[in-house]
Structure 1
């Protein structure tokens, strides 16, 4: 398929365009895309997705516009193509005009499916988001402050129990195996299950013995299949199916002394929850808010609320694990600054006035809740000369907290409230522990300090100095006021992104890569809608500006 080119000549006598021109607000996304579509999504920018031969595609500028509106309004592919065909605002935004002058009056919903797949396989799968961010930067809407947070993205499949996981994994293996290998696998199945149906076997589910027999028989089928595959040269598809089978059996089952298998009374650390979407995971946003699926991470500029970065991780990933990638642009900017010009985080922490001799506007700053206040992230920000507004959890408890102990990292000692000093025993990772075992027994303050029979111990983080500086910073009223005024803006942004109009929190696709691409597209569409509200427009000189 070759690249299709949209007609850049507008019809001044188009009644539909004239009606939209007079009635749509100037800050609407439809008017913004109508005016800036060719600047944002020139057809040539997508030339790498097509070949030089074959019939012409629907112009990419039209498809990209439809994809942006589709994501903003939470439409399916069929609904999006219907909106494009019958909604005057969509046609106005796409620049196709009325039906009597349009070269592309309608197109099939499969065009959107094909275009997304072409984008996914390209070198720049997130180019819609990248285009929106480049335009926002050119308009001066992206500064040097970032606010980080994450939100659950519920998976698009049903979470499977152990029996369903094992049967589904065996069925997948039989499906991808060739006839000879399939016959070998079928011969070792002793449970009597042909694994043709996805429905659970019919048993008395109130009978514990029947349940145990079911689990044991299907587990033995799974292990027998794996034995058949051992030392064989497998195709990539069979190898992947075998690996999935081995994983789901190993994560949920334990073997008794008599050789029978039963469900383990534990949850595996990285448990697969569905063979349909093996990358989805159990996750929790808080102690009481648990979910299955993925986490969507964003960084925003708090002044303009433009999203500067997006990442999608499995649901069980910690927020801080994605933090450095979210602020990659700040780290690159600071890396290009000379060492003499860097604002060292340790120096900032030691100043009585954190703002003295530093331009508040130009200082790179990162905001985040307790999930981002790890020692390693604080240390990384300090090394890069970035001011940390990431909140760090203070020690809590009814007994003496860690703050009551004098930690001297220079001497590698810890002194307790009773005045006893002990050395820190370091481990190979740089952390350590200080044990007051012998001193606790005769101590009169023991009841106020610990209830442990072995006495009090103090854990020392490998980045203890950075954590201490972070806790000292956040006691400053100026720091607290700035944090409370700025960090909630990312919560509002997530409320906008995840509202029902945009499709809610339910993932629209399966797999980490596709969910990440879709989340990036949503962020790009939200950026363009935000730029429309802020009256950002291109100028004749080739740049962007905010029209006041």
Structure 2
């Protein structure tokens, strides 16, 4: 049953103590005081459908939401949050809690987070802050200009090697099936009851390969034993996990044995504790393991307007339209600024269809082996011609058989072999240069032309605003995942963004009220204006 915040005051109530002191216990422009004045935003009714209509009243969800936001603001655990609520006056002001009361048990927090995910309420408070900002005139809705960016989130799961992945996946599946009467007795090579790694000489390649083959054989045996069984959702998930890790890094040899293949498999699963985290790249040389957080920010007000989280190996451009589509129609941007990671030809074409202006440099490829890049060639799509740096026109073209789209320009060997720029242009064994035409070439050309304009030069530097916002998100705990799984990491990202947005909301609201009060009135009274709730 939904519990609601009590309105009756007591002698130990924190508001009574502030009355005795005749001044607030915390600064009025602080995050803590702001939370105490935001009961119009954090309302119990928002979560009414998460609770039964009868029974014992719950802890008020408005209280738990504030606690979770304070957790991220102060970077504390569930247990520490309970202690802060009991002894820290700043938290008592924020939560309107009487002296001597915590108001909740630390276990209530994990249950409440699970309730948010179960009832698809993870975005509720994030959206309520934005609605409140719109209502106060702090967040523009018409002709919105937004900036998008991403940052990495280190996963909470352990990153495991191939041996550990297979061993733990076998163990997880066996532990769920061992009590089923229809699961047969298996004679396996290894013991999967113990938690330690197999005791072999890990420096010996022969012993490692022997262990790999034993693990592989056991994995196949367990998978084969489950064929034809009616599996639950959890059991099927674990079986799929085992099938993935047992094959992704494995290469069959001619004699039927297996070895670890060279290279990294595409979309490689790296952890059995968090199967959704992935290898990702911060740059061409710097790697991370976990997720990517993608953020859209209003350029004028600097509110975070959209958040989505993807596995670490997801290209930035794949999150672009999720950031747009999750926003209400009236808040969706008319102009978007982002870096080259988002500014692909496919994104530009879709943006043009949606009539959204793109402020982004076009990704440029470096010429292979130090040769002329594609940008050195003049491509006329209307005339379907390609002119090289030496002024030659490509005589041959290839079209897509299905769509009829122009795909490649070919220069002839005679043109290239007699050209003084040959060594700067191609190392092709056939002695001639080819130029590939992107499926979205026209939009890329328009982007290259636009980035040479004064308008682009004036607007693109404003992208740095979102870098500051990302740094603030990291400050409040976004860099390291607290939880396992994409859904829970997304919840974390939304809660951190809500903390950052509420800080911004309270700051702008204070500035707005202060600006509305004549300076002489404040000087006469000797006080600063107090913001009323609502």
TM-score (norm 1): 0.86
Partner of 1:304: 301
Q: What secondary structure is seen at the aligned counterpart in 1 of 2:395?
A: strand
The farther-off stretch of 52-61 and 224-233 is 224-233
Distance 1:140 1:327 in 2: 21
Measured in 2, the distance between the counterparts of 1:182 and 1:283 equals: 41
Q: For the Cα contact (< 8 Å) 1:20–1:89, is it kept in 2? A: no
How far apart are residue 150 of structure 1 and its match?
A: 0.6
Q: Is the 8 A contact 1:139 1:536 kept in 2?
A: no
Alpha carbons 1:151, 1:297 under 8 Å: kept = yes
SS at match of 1:475: coil
| Helix, strand or coil at the partner of 2:173 | helix
Say whether 1:445 aligns with 2:421: yes
Q: Distance in 1 between matches of 2:60 and 2:511?
A: 23
In structure 2, the partner of 1:487 is 463
Q: What residue in structure 1 maps to residue 173 of structure 2?
A: 173
Residue 248 of structure 1 corresponds to: 245
Distance 1:229 1:62, change over 3 A: same
Q: Deviations over 1:250-280 (max 9, x none)?
A: 1011110101111111211010001111001
Contact 1:139 1:546 in 2 (8 A): no
Q: In the alignment, which residue of structure 1 is the partner of 2:2?
A: 3
Q: Relative to 1, partners in 2 of residues 1:504 and 1:514: Cα closer, same or farther, differing over 3 Å?
A: closer
Answering whether residue 398 of structure 2 is matched by residue 425 of structure 1, we say yes
TM-superposed deviation, 1:464: 0.5
CA 327–113 in structure 1, closer or farther in 2 if over 3 Å, else same: same
CA offset at residue 515 of structure 1?
0.6
2:345 is aligned to 375
Deviations 1:452-477 (A, max 9, x none): 22321111111111111111111113
**How far is 1:412 from its partner?**
2.7
Match of 2:232 in 1: 235
Q: 140-149 vs 6-15, which deviates more? A: 6-15
**Alignment counterpart, residue 358 of structure 2, candidates 375, 388, 403:** 388
2:147 matched to 1:147?
yes
- Structure-2 change in CA distance of 1:249 and 1:61 (3 Å): same
Q: Secondary structure of the equivalent of 2:248?
A: helix
* 1:536, distance to aligned residue in structure 2 (A): 5.5
2:32 corresponds to: 30
Q: CA deviation at 1:503?
A: 2.9
Equivalent runs, 1:289-438 vs 2, <5 Å:
289-328=286-325, 332-333=329-330, 364-397=334-367, 398-417=370-389, 418-427=391-400, 428=402, 430=405, 432-438=407-413
Q: Tell me the residue number matched to 1:341.
A: none
Q: Deviation at 1:437? A: 4.8
Tell me the residue number matched to 2:483.
509
Q: In 2, distance between residues paired with 1:33 and 1:538?
A: 18
The yes-or-no answer on 1:132 pairing with 2:134 is no
Aligned counterparts of 1:179 and 1:10: Cα–Cα separation in 2: 55
* Alpha-carbon displacement from aligned partner over 1:136-190 (angstroms, at most 9, x marks no partner): 2222333301111111110112100000000000001101114356852x5241x
* 2:477 aligned with 1:478: no
SS of residue matched to 1:150: strand
Q: SS at the partner of 2:363?
A: coil
Moved more, 106-115 or 411-420: 411-420
C-alpha distance 434-7 of structure 1, shift in aligned 2 (>3 A): same
Partner Cα separation in structure 1 for residue 305 and residue 148 of structure 2 = 10
Gaps of 5+ in 2: 514-530
Asked whether the 8 Å contact 2:394–2:409 carries over to 1, the reply is no
Asked if 2 retains the 8 angstrom alpha-carbon contact of 1:414 and 1:424, the reply is no
Q: Determine if the alignment matches structure 1 residue 522 to structure 2 residue 483.
A: no
14-23 vs 48-57, greater mean Cα deviation: 14-23
Q: Does 1:462 align with 2:439?
A: yes
Task: Indicate if the aligned counterparts of 2:183 and 2:226 stay in contact, CA closer than 8 A.
Answer: no
Partner SS, residue 300 of structure 1: strand
Distance 2:227 2:337 in 1: 51
Report if aligned partners of 2:29, 2:510 keep a CA contact under 8 Å in 1. Answer: no
Instruction: Tell me the equivalent position of 2:104.
Output: 107
Distance in structure 2 (CA, Å) of the matches to 1:392 and 1:331: 29
Q: Structure 1 residue 331: deviation in Å?
A: 8.9
- The answer to whether the Cα contact below 8 Å between 2:138 and 2:508 also exists between their aligned partners in 1 is no
Which whole-Å CA distance do the structure 1 matches of 2:182 and 2:73 have between them? 46
Size of the aligned set, in residue pairs, is 503
TM-score normalised per structure 2: 0.88
Residues 1:235 and 1:334: Cα distance change in structure 2 (over 3 Å) = closer
1:15 is aligned to: 17
Task: Confirm or deny: 8 A CA contact 1:17 1:97 kept in the other structure.
Answer: no
What residue in structure 2 maps to residue 91 of structure 1? Answer: 92
Q: Report the secondary structure of 2:221's partner residue.
A: helix
Taking the aligned partners of 1:269 and 1:431, their CA distance within structure 2 comes to: 30
- Given that 2:97 and 2:103 are in contact with CA atoms closer than 8 Å, whether structure 1 keeps it comes out as no
Q: Go from structure 1 to structure 2 and tell me whether the alpha carbon gap of 1:43 and 1:17 turns closer, same or farther (over 3 Å shift).
A: farther
> Closer, same or farther in 2 for the Cα pair 1:60/1:448, shift >3 Å?
same
Q: Report Cα offsets for 1:199-230 as digits up to 9, x if no partner.
A: 21001111111111111111111112222222
1:409-464 Cα offsets, whole Å, 9 max, x none, are 12333232332223442335756222225342333321121122232111111111
Unaligned runs of 5+ in 1: 336-362, 540-544
| Superposition deviation, residue 66 in structure 1 | 0.8
Tell me the alpha carbon deviations over residues 38-94 of structure 1, each in whole angstroms, 9 at most, x when there is no partner: 201111221111112221111112111111111111111111111111111111111
**Which residue is 1:338 aligned to?**
none
Q: Given the superposition, is the C-alpha separation of residues 92 and 32 from structure 1 closer, same or farther in structure 2, using an over 3 Å criterion?
A: same
Q: 1:535 offset after TM fit, Å?
A: 2.2
Partners of 1:408 and 1:90 lie apart in 2 by 65
Give SS of 1:308's match: strand
